[in-house]
Amino acid sequence: MLLCFYLQLRNQAVSNRNLYPNFGVLLVDDEPAFLRSLSIALERRGGINHIYHSEDSRNVMALLAQEPIGLVLLDLTMPHLSGETLLKQIVEEYPDIAVIIVSGLNQLETAVNCIRLGAYDYFVKTSEEERLIGGISRAIASQEMRLENQEMRKRFLNDTLERPEIFANIITQDKGMRSVFQYLEAISASSQPVLICGESGVGKELIANAIHTLSNRNGPLVCVNVAGLDDNVFADTLFGHNKGAFTGADKARAGMVEQAAGGTLFLDEIGDLSLVSQVKLLRLLQEGEYYPLGSDKPKRIRARVVVATHHELAKKQQAGEFRKDLYYRLRIHQVEVPPLRRRKGDIPLLLEHFLAEAAAELAKNIPTISKELPILLANYEFPGNIRELRALVFDAMSQHKSRMLSMEVFRRALGQQEAPLVEENEHTFAPFSQMRILPKLNEVGDILVIEAMHRAQDNQSLAARLLGISQPALSKRLKKLEANRSVE
């Protein structure tokens, strides 16, 4: 009765905070003391608090039918139904539920037989607590990955979004971005880190916000830009400190990890982190523990970690500038946000959105835009991505006076655009690299004119700008091209 009362109080407390993992972990043992001690160890050492209990093996199958159980920790020697009998029933009726045997029997033959029957792992009760918790954590991670794969297959095959409202503030109609949203929904229940990659200005912060909202966590989203933080400031910012930890530490201060408890910790510009700070972050992710400065008592992290970078971490890792073990720890879930130049269809939507935003902020009417403007923007590379487009729109709106929005700001941007850099060993003139015989110079000119008109959607003024010639010169070339076609 005392154990039942304790578990009831504990479950009420757990219901008021975030549960980990997303599925339940069922402990089955006829010894109440062992159930209680294992529950406390799982929560303190592994952060595992989504726990169910059963002292009577006859109730296990009914619990599995009623509750969202994903992992069972099962004793072998119990009255009524033995653990081996239960293992066979669970594997047969609930093959997606993982079973770990935690038994007092230290017999190799018994362990081998349980694995043969379908158990995920086998531990002896007298095993080291750290080894047991580690094995259970691995089983939870494996189950999370399996569930995520199921979710991804379902979403990609059905091409559905279950919670499209969460992505409403990300202005897009791009199929690649929709795939990103589907992936985020699939991994929302996971506790594993998420690595967001993408060029500066693509909206990585919005993706981090969406991940946090999708995860349904009670705690806050805490954002930290780690670029430029030295090792001591990084540790103090993330882990906090005790009073007297260093000169000037007049009182204790909670770090960002603690402030994000029950929520999400977002570390931006992770690619700029020093190697020393990378070690500290790796330990936090691997062990799930950290020490505030001046403390010898560890605290558990109770937040999901999301990181972002505009760097290519694979290249930094190969160059020795980013730890390989941290890189692979972070890329369990990886999101690549495409640049704006690969989302040309989003430009008109974003233009309309930013025009409305700028008009409201500057207390002006939303202007009319020329038909040429979306075409002009579609031929711009946008090295600064969405952030640059927003800046261009606000700049144009600040100078706007007439009914029609001036094109001058946008023309200047296009005029200053540099040709994309070509990597060494890459053919500068890729269209001709496979040709045995080079085309004649006048033929190349005709090809360029046709391509420019295609990109400008037959707008001669814009096509001439793309070619770097005057409009009359382009018109003359087009007439000559048309005359040659007529002769042929």
CATH number at residue 348: 1.10.8.60
User: Can you say whether the dihedral through the CA atoms of 83, 91, 99, 112 is positive or negative?
Assistant: positive
> 137 and 229 share a domain?
no
With a cut of 90, say whether residue 324 has pLDDT above it: yes
Token digits of residue 190: 């996971």
Distance of CA 204 to the CA centre of its chain: 9
CA-CA distance, 448 to 432, in Å (whole number)? 13
Rounded to two decimals, what is the model's pTM? 0.74
- The residue segments making up the domain with residue 438 are 432-487
Pairing of strands 240-241, 253-254: antiparallel
User: Can you say whether the dihedral through the CA atoms of 75, 77, 78, 81 is positive or negative?
Assistant: positive
Domain of 142, CATH number, reads 3.40.50.2300
CA-CA distance, 252 to 372, in Å (whole number)? 59
Range from 122-131, 245-254, 409-418 carrying the lowest mean pLDDT: 409-418
Query: Into how many domains does the chain fold?
Result: 4
> 79 and 20 share a domain?
yes
For 137, what's the count of Cα atoms within 13 Å in the CB-facing half-sphere?
A: 20
> 181 and 41 share a domain?
no
- Token pair 């999708």 is found at 214
| pLDDT attached to residue 209 | 96
Mean pLDDT comparison of 119-128, 354-363, 437-446, highest-scoring range = 354-363
> 207 and 75 share a domain?
no
Residue 424 placed within a domain: no
> 329 and 348 share a domain?
no
With a cut of 70, say whether residue 249 has pLDDT above it: yes
> 95 and 119 share a domain?
yes
Residue 11 placed within a domain: yes
| pLDDT attached to residue 50 | 93
Q: Which of 99, 115, 148 is the last residue of a domain?
A: 148
Residue 153 placed within a domain: no
CA-CA distance, 329 to 319, in Å (whole number)? 18
Mean pLDDT of 390-406: 89
The answer to whether 239 and 292 are in contact (CB under 8 A) is yes
Q: What percent of the chain clears pLDDT 70, i.e. is strictly above it?
A: 91
Residue 250 placed within a domain: yes
With a cut of 60, say whether residue 108 has pLDDT above it: yes
pLDDT-derived band of residue 430, with 50, 70 and 90 as boundaries?
low
The answer to whether 307 and 284 are in contact (CB under 8 A) is no
Contacts of 451 (CB under 8 A, 6+ apart): none
| pLDDT attached to residue 432 | 66
